[in-house]
Amino acid sequence: MSPEEIAQFLRRNPGFFEQHPQLLETILVPHPHGGRAIPLTERQIVSLREKARQLEGKLSQLLRFGEDNDAIGEKVHRLSLALLGARDAAAAQNALHFHLREDFAVPHVLLRMWTEQSDPALRDQAANMGAPACGPAAGNPFLPLFGEAREHVRSIAIVPLGQTRNIGVLALGSEDPQRFYAEMGTLFLRRIGELAAGALAART
């Protein structure tokens, strides 16, 4: 019989080992980590332990993600309180810069509100984004907005301000190439953009 035929036989006869329990102890299979051969029952136990460790690892990862999200949520909350308490647009901009640098550790923060002199190509691109965009700084059309600091920026996040009417962009730059990457989640960036747009629109 071929290995495939044996596998099919065992699948069609799930009670086979109940009828022949002695085989579980006499059939030897390779240990998954090399070395000696072990009984089929021991191999199953090893497999279950491996699966348990994998599940524990995934659970720990989920818990870490949850803790990270809680911490980010708290930072966004502090930022929202600061924006609500801002007396004018200048104070709102200062609060935005301060919290993004201090709480979120973003070294390069640039807020650009559109004026009649703004580059129409950038304005159109920001208006058509619909959501924050992250990725490498090289080749990003918004990179020149950072001025001389652009030489140090390796990754970038562009957050459009305003959903129905785009009033500007919030550009975040990092010297870490992996800080802002294309596949990262942008939920909190979107929330920050909404808070900033609301605070600035109400004070200009």
> Would you state the pLDDT for residue 202?
82
What tens-digit pLDDT sequence spans the chain (204 residues)?
776 776 677 677 767 666 766 666 666 666 666 666 656 666 677 667 777 777 776 666 666 666 778 888 899 999 999 999 889 999 999 999 999 999 999 999 999 999 888 899 999 999 899 899 999 999 999 999 999 999 999 999 999 998 778 899 999 999 999 999 999 989 999 999 999 998 988 877
Closest CA to 77 of 195, 158, 157, 168: 195
Question: CA–CA separation, 117 vs 119, rounded Å?
Answer: 7
> Would you state the pLDDT for residue 50?
75
- Is residue 64 within 8 A of residue 71, CB to CB? The reply is no
Residue with tokens 């304005």: 123
- Is residue 84 within 8 A of residue 66, CB to CB? The reply is no
Residues linked to residue 170 through DSSP beta bridges, in sequence order: 111, 159
Conformation bin of residue 138: beta by default, left when phi > 0, alpha when psi is -120 to 50? beta
Task: Identify the CATH homologous superfamily for domain 88-201.
Answer: GAF domain (3.30.450.40)
> Would you state the pLDDT for residue 163?
77
Length of the chain: 204
Helices 187-201 and 40-84: crossing angle in degrees, nearest 10, is 10
> Would you state the pLDDT for residue 60?
65
> Would you state the pLDDT for residue 191?
92
Residue with tokens 């802002």: 180
Q: Which residue type sits at 28?
A: L
Q: Which helix (H) or strand (E) holds 169?
A: strand 168-174
- Is residue 203 within 8 A of residue 86, CB to CB? The reply is yes
Residue with tokens 């490498």: 136
> Would you state the pLDDT for residue 63?
62
The secondary structure of the chain in percent helix, strand, coil, rounded to multiples of 5, reads 55, 15, 30
Q: Where are the domains of the chain?
A: 17-84, 88-201
> Would you state the pLDDT for residue 12?
77
> Would you state the pLDDT for residue 24?
60
